[in-house]
Structure 1
Amino acid sequence: MLLACLGVLIVATNAWSHGNHHGGSSSLDPALKGSGPDVHLYRDASCRCCTKWGNALATEGFNVIDHISNDLEAMKRDEGVPADLASCHTAFVEGYVLEGHVPVPSIQRLLREMPEITGLAVPGMPIGSPGMEVAGRTGDRYQVIALQDLGRQTIYDSYQGPNLQKASAR
């Protein structure tokens, strides 16, 4: 029991600090209200990387509507987000689910092409993805995963680093 409690404490401490050492505020910038599609962002109140991601979307014209949630895990489960693709926040746009730090170009492509998928996910919290930028650090390679019916997953886009440069051509 003691070991389980210590494990929860360590994981909780790492998760809390990971979301808050990238700068930013714990609330969205009200001056960045976009006129584009509504994006409903569900996040923990203390997660600053989530607000940085929301502000990045608002800067690109999306109307980000901020929702504080105390039970993100239940929402992810209810919306069919597989546990292995979970991240720190969940958002919705035009009927699609966006899990994690999905880059704006992938969201714009999603809305332009309107594929028959459930949504997009960036598993974990890769350094260099929107909201996870770290000055002086080369960003991680990461993939945007398309969530499909029956739990199928395919690679939608690939990125490298903070400038969101595509690692491979489509």
Structure 2
Amino acid sequence: MPMMNRRQTLAAILAGGAVLSGLVSRRAAAEIAERRLTVAKSPTCGCCSAWVDHMRAAGFEVETLDMTSGALAARKARLGLRPELASCHTGEIAGYFVEGHVPAADVARLLETRPEALGLTVPGMPFGSPGMEYGDRRDAFDTLLVMRDGSTAVFASH
């Protein structure tokens, strides 16, 4: 095997670093893309905006889409979300829906565990959930995992 001089050795090291850097960059890009959340909401809903702020503070990149109630209802139906599981806004991330005031930690856990499911929901608008803070009032609530067959299971209790 031929010997490499210093210049060749340095070039090989730098080339290896460039390859490693490319892998790291692709991995970082994939992680950023996975934390990209699109939220459909009413343009006048304050609690929706507060939940978006909660998600951004937790490191999610959030794009909001203001739409009419009819368009929002059609979006929920397209995602397989039954009316009794609905709330005021609907997010989509990494192939899942996130309905209502779901805590950011629950969304992060969903992305880590990747269950075979449609998404997460916090039906209604419980006081004390992210975006629904109201003084010291806190209602107990569950984040539900919505399975592909439409059934639900408690994903987290708060």
Aligned to 1:10: none
Q: CA deviation at 1:35?
A: 8.5
**Bigger proportion of residues as helix:** 2
TM-score by length of 1: 0.71
Aligned to 2:143: 144
Q: CA deviation at 1:74?
A: 1.0
Alpha-carbon distance in 1 for matches of 2:127, 2:48: 13
1:112-162 CA distances to partner (integer Å, 9 max, x unpaired)? 11111110000000000000001132x001001111112111111100xxx
Q: Segments of 4+ in structure 1 off by > 4 A?
A: none
Aligned to 1:61: 59
Alpha-carbon distance in 2 for matches of 1:49, 1:75: 19
TM-score by length of 2: 0.76
1:36–1:149 CA distance, 2 compared to 1 (3 A):
closer
> 39, 42, 46: which one pairs with 2:40?
42
Instruction: Give the superposed CA RMSD.
Output: 1.4
Aligned to 1:128: 128
Aligned to 1:94: 94
1:78–1:131 CA distance, 2 compared to 1 (3 A):
same
Alignment of 1:1-170 (within 5 A): 37-70=35-68, 71-137=71-137, 139-159=138-158
Larger of the two Rg values belongs to structure? 2
Secondary structure, counterpart of 2:149 in structure 1? helix
Contact 1:35–1:61 under 8 Å retained in 2 = no
Specify every segment of 5 or more residues in structure 1 that has no aligned partner in the other structure, as ranges.
1-33, 160-170
Specify every segment of 5 or more residues in structure 2 that has no aligned partner in the other structure, as ranges.
1-31
